[in-house]
Amino acid sequence: MNTVDPIRDPEKIREIKEKLRATNSRDYLLFTMGINLALRASDLLNLKVGDVFDEKGNVVRYLWVKEKKTGKQKKLFINSVVEDALLFHFRNKKIMRDNFLFTAKRSGEQLDRQALWELIKKWTKSVDLKGRYGTHSLRKTWGYMVRVVHHKDLPQIMEKLGHSNQEITKRYIGITQEEINELEREVCI
């Protein structure tokens, strides 16, 4: 199995979001939800409009997802960035609660993993990111940013991602040999 990278540069994330917001509200929402909710691609693509909007058309505070891989029920907080992206995408659109949140433009069918993979490759290429990117990159980006930018503990990240041990989480979020060597250079006891 080939591994993919998280997006490690906050500036590149900002660039992708700006480009998508200006050109494609569905893709902007997809990217924003992907990096903020840290769901697996299959769970992200299975979301329905009714999962994120209540009967009155308001964005829900918490999203309940039954993970396809584990069968576990997860309660996810809809943060202000995701809420804004939802409202931006659905402005001037009728909320059809039974529809998939992410659909293909031509067919109107549920977006699939292959299409998501192609979109992520296109988005990362558009901002000149080097590396291997795929459907897990969005989920990995959340873990990486939480650890590096927000300085949160590995056990919290491990719990959010549903990993059974810290070694899996360290590999998953891409702790690199360069980071370890930098730490060794910085810490002189």
Chain centroid to Cα 158, Å, comes to 16
Catalytic one among 8, 21, 40, 147?
40
The residue from 136, 140, 147, 160 that is catalytic is 136
Is residue 139 flagged as an active site residue?
A: yes
Quickly list DSSP for 93-152.
S---TTSBSSB-TTT-SBP-HHHHHHHHHHHHHHTT--S---THHHHHHHHHHHHHTS--
Residue of 69, 72, 91, 106 marked catalytic: 69
3-state secondary structure of 175: coil
Q: Are 33 and 82 in contact (CB under 8 A)?
A: yes
**172 tagged catalytic:** yes
User: Whose structure tokens read 């509200």?
Assistant: 25
Catalytic-residue membership of 40: yes
Active-site positions read 40, 69, 136, 139, 163, 172
